Amino acid sequence: MDVFYEESAINANSAKNEKRYKVLNVGTIFFMTLAIFFFFLAIMLFPVKNVKESLGLTIFFGGNGAVFLLFWFILSRIKKRINVSYDYTFVSGELRIIKVFNVNKRKRVDVIHCDEILQMGDADNPSYERLRSAPNTKEIICTSNYEPMEGKFFMYLLVGGNQMKYLFLLECREQLLMQLLKFTRRSVLESDYVMQEKKQKKTTV
């Protein structure tokens, strides 16, 4: 019987970031339009016969076009980091991680098969820092939040082989960890893992 589980790590500042995204999107369109316009003028004035008369204008319009293109590039890079969320979809032994830009644009981060998981657990535990500091381990953060939202925790997954290992950090409910455990060895779960319900009781006492 197939198992399906899905949840999202929503950006905690999604409302504010959505407005910022829209402003940046207008800015990128504006600067790209200006860049195309000035490059068009530069091409039209490209010196063919009257070199001395038109060369200065060509350089002027081409230079302005390059500046506006640079502004477009910078805003585009910033826009990609605004209002980013993540979707985690687990289907019978396979975890798919998707990066979502401003709700509608999606990019696959990775697909993790359960037999590739070497260790998993709570990022609050010392085992996470030990794995993180290993020289042959690369950390891949799959959340935009610095603190987990209510009902969630930061779970890590260590994936890979002998040469290179990847340490994924996810913001999810404990149900996702339970689903993964159904398709992995029990030894994969860190030895110092504490159930989130018990952990919450300890912190409130």
> Using one digit for the tens of pLDDT, what is the confidence trace for 32-85?
999 999 888 888 776 655 656 667 778 888 889 899 999 999 998 888 778 889
* pLDDT tens readout for residues 90-111: 998 899 999 998 877 889 999 9
Furthest-apart CA pair in the chain: how many Å?
85
* Number of other residues whose CB lies within 10 A of the CB of residue 104: 6
Pairing between β-strand 117-122 and β-strand 105-113 as defined by DSSP bridges: unpaired
**Burial, 155: exposed, middle or buried (Cβ in 10 Å; 0-12, 13-18, 19+)?**
buried
Q: Counting every residue, how long is the chain?
A: 205
